[in-house]
Amino acid sequence: MAIWPAQWLGLVLLVSVWGSSAPASLLRRLGEHIQRFQESSSLGLGLSPGTVAIPKQGWLEQPLDPFNASDRRSFLQRYWANDQHWTSQDGPVFLHLGGEGSLGPGSVMRGHPAALAPAWGALVIGLEHRFYGLSVPARGLDMAQLRFLSSRHALADVVSARLALARLFNVSFSSSWICFGGSYAGSLAAWARLKYPHLIFASVASSAPVQAVLDFSEYNQVVSRSLMSVAIGGSAECREAASAAFAEVERRLRAGRATQAALRADLVACGSLNRAEDQAEMLGALQALVGGAVQYDGQTGAPLSVRQLCGLLLGGGSNCSRSTPYRGLRRAVQVVIHSLGQKCLSFSRAETVSQLRVTEPQESGVGDRQWLYQTCTEFGFYVTCEGPRCPFSQLPALPSHLELCEQVFGLSASSIAQAVAQTNSYYGGQTLGATQVLFVNGDIDPWHVLSVTQVLGPSKSALLIPGASHCLDMAPERPADSPSLRQGRQNIFQQLQTWLRLAKDSQVRGGI
């Protein structure tokens, strides 16, 4: 089942302007903003008639429960196709997997893997993840439906989509299918090769956190280290300024109602900061803001780079007053909310819970309810800041994260811990047994510590790019790209060349 709409660009330009600003939500909104900015900017370069083929949007009818043949319910899963470089039916297919958000036409038009397609005459297809974007089952997001949302269900979709798309596009049986993905979708790419090696020839997994973890305290440890990296504009003074800024925020929270009111105005909060739980939400969101500057450092569309953030925190000079870091953090908040198109930031825990309980899908949103459900039932990934190496507020954040799973879904802390352990047991964590997978990471990206950064064997490759942030290798190329990033992309190209040569040799041997 395929649908080809005449107008698609409007979908690219949608930017979420929700008021929710829980820590994880703010990071996800930054990621969505950057993705949409890059897609709209790059696609806009070639929209004059005849200059570039418009990507095709289609829909596949997928079983809601692929593990129960007697269940006849189904949903429509969206995909995008770019066949402008596809030279023959036996050419390779680059399957770009979507993750925890909407997948737009830019996934098959610009950046990686689309930039790699011309060299091999590849067909590029982007597959949106079930329950995200427009690929949401008709009955919505209630608990009865969400039990069909998991990485295992998503991998089953990859299998049925791969078979259906091969028929739809008349792809040769001898064609090599290579999965690409970034972040959670990068994990899916690696797991697709692990679980279905007879259908997926190889995978490129960018910034893929294949190790599930309940307490992700290492996230802020990497943020702290990256804030001191001179190569990206950080310094020891910047790291200390970040600590001083958070200390000043906490001092003002304790100083009384009048000072709290001034703090609320400084940080453009939508409501009061009287409740302890709302104060914790605010501190967590500020940590996410600083973490986002590191996670998305140097990316087109990112509101703040590490260099810019450090410039704000240090006030542009060496003789900084005690209040300079606080004023810099306040300015950083203003920059980010302006970039996201929001008037204020909500730090209300009650509002966060209320929004996460909404079961109607948000077409232009990033799927907060769905992703929270996946973290509660599979991955954890809860960013905390309790150790001495964390430069931010020392708060017992893990109980708050676990309580959110209870408040929204009724899931206990023990069940979440058990789910994380089961995920690692099922996929193998950082020692997964898949071959012909290339793991690509940046060493300033906080998520690289949950990925694979060392070569595990002759057919289990890993690439760690100095100074690169989260999924930066997948972004469109720019003149300002660092030599290490350019070399990293060249290494990806060479690995694909090796794999596809292997596939061709295998076909020749098989035909003799």
Residues designated catalytic:
183, 445, 470
Those residues whose C-beta lies under 8 Å from the C-beta of residue 83, and which sit 6 or more positions away, are 53, 56, 123, 124, 169
Q: What is the spatial distance between Cα 492 and Cα 261, in angstroms, rounded to a whole number?
A: 52
CB atoms within 10 A of CB 321: 9
Give the 3-state secondary structure of residue 76.
strand
Phi, psi of 277 (to 5 degrees): -65, -35
Give the 3-state secondary structure of residue 506.
helix
Please identify which residue in the block is written with the tokens 């990934």: 381
Exposure of 69 by Cβ count < 10 A (0-12 exposed, 13-18 middle, 19+ buried)?
A: exposed
Tokens encoding 455: 């070569």
CA angle 454-455-459, nearest 5°?
155
Tokens encoding 402: 């676990």
Q: What is the DSSP string of 206-246?
A: ES---S-EEE-THHHHHHHHHHT-GGGT--HHHHHHHHHHH
Positive/negative CA dihedral, 80, 82, 83, 89:
negative
Q: What is the DSSP string of 467-492?
A: T--TTGGGSPP-TT--HHHHHHHHHH
Number of H helices, E strands in the chain: 17, 10
Tokens encoding 288: 């996410």
Exposure of 511 by Cβ count < 10 A (0-12 exposed, 13-18 middle, 19+ buried)?
A: exposed
Q: How many residues does the chain have?
A: 512
Q: What is the spatial distance between Cα 190 and Cα 94, in angstroms, rounded to a whole number?
A: 14
Amino acid at position 256, single letter: G
Q: What is the spatial distance between Cα 179 and Cα 93, in angstroms, rounded to a whole number?
A: 8
